[in-house]
Amino acid sequence: MRFNYGYFGGPKSMNVPCAFNGGARRSCFLDTGSMISAVPEDAESLGYPKVGRSRMQAASGTPLLFDLVATEKVMIGDAAIPLASIGRSAAITHQEGMIGSDALADQVVLFDFEKKVLIFSPGGAIGQKLGKAGMGRSDLGDALLIIPLSISLNTLSTMWDTGVMNPLTLRQEWIDQHSQLFRYKWDSTAGMDAAGHMIQSKSYELLAPLDIGQLYVAPGLLVYGVDFPPEYDFDAILGFDLLKQCNWFFDLPNRSWAAFLPAPD
């Protein structure tokens, strides 16, 4: 599935059934690249109390304003997700909601395509192993989705964890061994590991195609190299922080996903 252009739209197959506070079922657009979980303005009729305002920017550069309203939980399929607040905006089309990442504070988001469910675990329970940067394995075991990743003729094991703060993080040692596939950009800080150690990362431009399941990533994506501790038994992490380059959309029923680059200037 190759990159396409788009935002606040895209294939309707990416919509999943959802219900806020156990209310009437509606369609939710699952977009972990968004900055807020949101419902249309008509959600005001549902009686959610207003608790503030929020501002974000669309891929087109258009500023978007959200009223923040309190809610207890949202149901995505059979999965119940506790939420402290969601946004209400005219930017969200009628009968659709957006489930984003930032509203899931202190949560790690995991995807299980075999069971066709989202798995959410409080940061306190799983974060002891994942750390602030979301790097590591958890006691959930098989709940974590390990998927094959290939760059050219090389195969890596990949943990898909949308709780991380980088779009694609690779083991630095592997990058060093395959330096022809990458162009160095700059040094940056990824965050702290579970032991509280600051993990340094380097930024690279991907020079070769990359295949992750059904997803095809064209050269040009910014990736990060990190010195993973030896106990991390994978070589790559696929994350959600693509706000500056693309948004991720997930189609749970069909076990597929896609990425949408911001519209060009």
When mean pLDDT is compared across 6-20, 22-36, 175-189, 225-239, the lowest value belongs to 6-20
What is the per-residue pLDDT across 79-112, written as a single tens digit (0 to 9) for each?
666 666 677 666 565 556 766 544 333 344 445 4
Q: How far apart are CA 112 and CA 262, in angstroms?
A: 27
Domain 14-99 part of CATH 2.40.70.10: yes
Q: Is-contact 91 63, C-beta < 8 A?
A: no
For domain 108-239, the CATH superfamily is Acid Proteases (2.40.70.10)
State the Cα–Cα distance between residues 150 and 223, nearest whole angstrom. 14
The more confident residue out of 143 and 152 is 152
| Per-residue model confidence (pLDDT) at position 30 | 60
Whether 58 has a pLDDT exceeding 70, the answer reads no
Instruction: Give the residue from 18, 24, 135, 35 showing the smallest Cα distance to 74.
Output: 18
Separation of CA 143 from chain center: 16
- Reading the block at residue 238, the tokens are 């696929």
pTM of the model: 0.45
| Whether the domain at 14-99 and the domain at 108-239 fall into the same CATH topology | yes
- pLDDT band, very low/low/confident/very high, at 183 (cuts 50, 70, 90): very high
What are the structural domain ranges in the chain? 14-99, 108-239
Average pLDDT, whole number, for the chain?
58
